[in-house]
Structure 1
Amino acid sequence: MNIAIIGGGIGGLATAITLLKHGFNVQVYERAQALRPIGAGLTLTPNGLNTLNAIQPGLVESLKQAGSQMNTLILKRSTGEIIASKPLTALEHYGQPLLNIQWSRLQAILASLLPSDIIHLNHQCIGFEQHESSVETHFENGKTIQSDLLIGADGINSVVRQKLIGDGSPLYAGRMSWRAVIQYPHPLLTPNLATLITAADGKNFLLVDVGEGYTFWSAGALLADDSVCQRATDAKARVLEIFAEWADPVEAIIQATPADEIVERPICDRTPLQRWSEGRVTLLGDAAHPVVPSLGQGANTAFEDAYELAECLSLAPSIEAALDAYERHRIPRTEVIYIRSANQGNRSYKPESETTLQEMMKSSQMNQNEFEEWLYSYKPSENRKFVI
């Protein structure tokens, strides 16, 4: 089977790796002209790490060398006062840590596991046409390709999704975000630590060690207007103004970050779909089920998608049957994660955010514990019975 994947992000690359291992002929088409570093970090949770281990045994050990295993979460007020401190015990409970890593570092490691000639850069998908026995995909550079199956792994603004589903633009969640990755030594930024700083006026600031001497910072604020600044210097000035007079090291790390390395984005999601596929085309990752980043599950669920889609395609008697099994298993799980992410994200920016975030850190929150048990205990090798 010839399979084309639109999107060379971490979800698309993980999908290509596992499909190749199953013997499929895979090609990846990425719109960017180069796989360049971007100012983002992410957390790989036990469910995502278990899945990556199933996709490529030994991969997680490489990621641990490149990232940082988070062992402590500190919650602070914008004045610098510590509200709560929580030791993180994911490794003891689930056999895998909470692993923070640079998005670009993860992308590079995944890309290194693939033959270089299957990743095609500068290929912006502009549409596709389905035929009885193939899919014809068109690119902005004039190229057209034929495949037996097309997988849209092209993110929250997926071109494949718009052609397949046509549900318009993502939904603005009422919050603007700014983020960057920077080498910034500071006494308050110690290894294996994450610090969440909150204020009652709808602002949060996150500082995370992502390994190799880098810190990921992410700022979020309630804003009615979802428009972004046209110039990088204006975006930097904006985030500096919004977080002015916050306790050290907030202002200092923003100031130290070059303006062109700060990513300004509206926080968005999409209402869950009841189907991700039609004919010989399907969706994966943020193209299928984008969520706000309150639980850090975007990448982790994309890896789950990749593993299970490959399993379905290898075990089912037809593409139609494989995509049906893929949706039946994946959609219910991602719907739960969507609802939880949306609710927790909204509550984290309300005036009572300090109380909300503090309660989420308490081990006595059985509901939260039960959810984490369900979320993090996912092991792909135990899911084949659902696929067949």
Structure 2
Amino acid sequence: MSPARVAVIGAGVVGPVAAMLLKQKGYDVVLYERLDSPSEAGLGLAIQQNGQAVLARIPGLVKHIDGHPMDEFHFYSVMPEDPGLLGISDHPRRHREMSALGSTSVQRPVLHKRLTEFAKKLGIPVNFGHKLEKLEQTEDSVTVTFANGVQETFSFVVGCDGLHSNTRSCLFGETSADYTGVSQWGGLSPTPEFWKGKRAPADLYGNGAHMIVVPVSDSLMTWALSQRGPEFKEEWRSIDAAAAEHFKKNSPFSQWPFGAGELVRNSLKIVRYGIYDRPELKTWFRGRVVLIGDAAHPTSPFLGMGANQSYEDVGLLIDLLEKYSPSTESPSTDTLAAAFTELERVRLPRTADLVKRARIQGETRVVSGVEACIKRNNYYRDVCNDPVKFKARFGILV
């Protein structure tokens, strides 16, 4: 019999990986994306060892992505009352030496492009400009209707369409997003002299503000600056040129030490966006449709584990499909329910814990008042000197 047809909704940083692993298993996979081309939104993304372990299951993909290796994590205080280096963790280097899997970073738009390129290379149709509008299920199939009028029928559907998931809305209705009270400025900049030769992201802590900087190549770094304040839309897109120039020249962050101010002043683009929470889903599937990644468990970016947790979801989903449905024939609804239920049983507690820890990270990084900030700084001094505390705090499990 012919292999089952599977639709993967969303061609961001997760959907192509799901499509490639499904194709590798033997399914007839089609990938759909609501945008007209690979997204140019977003800044940088860290692929940690748990994410790399899943990507490495697709021969040649990690090399094609060509991420920038990271060896250390650095922590600095930019407060005049308590300035200087808080600590350094060499966890990424040690983990790479132990397992050959370390942390890498890449520009998010570059990752989008390279993933879709590789999916096409493997023979997966990638259909842009297809916004999901309706899902209609029968006992043995799912009919997918898109806003452009295209309608196709599949054995089952995997929704990988991120924070604004149309798949989730089709299954469970619209869910409101709650502003966390934290917004970010972000940018892409030439590497300052201070950071040249250091393959290390860094957290910089100020009074009422926090900045993370991440090298994405030998010559470029991304950065994101968090503050509490008025609500901004969750778009991750560039602001207009006049507002960007005003921020680069006049914001107090343009004078921060340790290369941070230089990153702000010389940024090639500036984005502005709010950080939002969404209600936790109690189930990730209905019938023959399952959610993966941010479509199922959206998280704030403060642990850098969003994409990596999504890759863990995908890896386990493929393993469970192999366990419950070894052939590539269309699985029964009961078979899919068994696989999807076990996926939830394993993944729901882990992702819920990491979402919670990411929220805590956001709350503890952006504090105000000299006394509170020094207390925070001392906490990170302690964490950096204790590998066990470091791994527990940042969600890095080995």
Q: TM-score, normalised by structure 2?
A: 0.84
Aligned equivalent of 2:184, options 154, 177, 180: 177
C-alpha separation in 2, matches of 1:148 and 1:160: 16
Aligned equivalent of 1:363, options 361, 385, 391: 385
**RMSD of equivalent CA atoms:** 2.6
Aligned equivalent of 2:130, options 120, 123, 129: 123
For structure 1, which segment, 16-25 or 70-79, has the greater mean C-alpha deviation from structure 2 after superposition? 70-79
Displacement of 1:108 in angstroms is 2.7
Displacement of 1:366 in angstroms is 4.3
Aligned equivalent of 1:188, options 187, 191, 194: 194
Matches within 5 A, 1:312-327: 312-317=320-325, 318-327=335-344
Equivalent residues of 1:204, 1:220 under 8 A apart: yes
C-alpha separation in 2, matches of 1:294 and 1:124: 29
The one-character-per-residue Cα deviations of 1:46-91 (angstroms, maximum 9, x if unpaired) are: 21112222x224543554x441323241313155932313042233
C-alpha separation in 2, matches of 1:141 and 1:243: 47
Aligned equivalent of 2:345, options 318, 325, 328: 328
Would you say 1:17 and 2:20 are equivalent positions?
yes
C-alpha separation in 2, matches of 1:355 and 1:56: 45
Aligned equivalent of 1:91, options 69, 90, 93: 93
Distance 1:216 1:205, change over 3 A: same
Would you say 1:60 and 2:62 are equivalent positions?
yes
Would you say 1:219 and 2:225 are equivalent positions?
yes
For structure 1, which segment, 151-160 or 206-215, has the greater mean C-alpha deviation from structure 2 after superposition? 206-215
Matches within 5 A, 1:296-311: 296-311=304-319
C-alpha separation in 1, matches of 2:384 and 2:308: 24
State the partner residue of 1:346. 363
For structure 1, which segment, 80-89 or 304-313, has the greater mean C-alpha deviation from structure 2 after superposition? 80-89
Q: Aligned partner of 1:264: which letter? A: R
C-alpha separation in 2, matches of 1:366 and 1:128: 46
C-alpha separation in 1, matches of 2:351 and 2:15: 18
State the partner residue of 2:152. 145
Displacement of 1:126 in angstroms is 2.1
C-alpha separation in 2, matches of 1:193 and 1:300: 18
C-alpha separation in 2, matches of 1:134 and 1:19: 17
Displacement of 1:145 in angstroms is 1.6
State the partner residue of 2:272. 264
Equivalent residues of 1:68, 1:101 under 8 A apart: no
C-alpha separation in 1, matches of 2:322 and 2:379: 44
Displacement of 1:132 in angstroms is 2.5
Would you say 1:205 and 2:219 are equivalent positions?
no
The one-character-per-residue Cα deviations of 1:318-373 (angstroms, maximum 9, x if unpaired) are: 2121111111111111111111111122111122345335524433374444466x
C-alpha separation in 1, matches of 2:145 and 2:176: 21
| SS of residue paired to 1:157 | coil
C-alpha separation in 2, matches of 1:243 and 1:288: 38
Identity of aligned residues (%): 24
Gaps of 5+ in 1: 378-388
State the partner residue of 2:71. 70
Displacement of 1:113 in angstroms is 2.4
Aligned equivalent of 1:101, options 106, 111, 114: 106
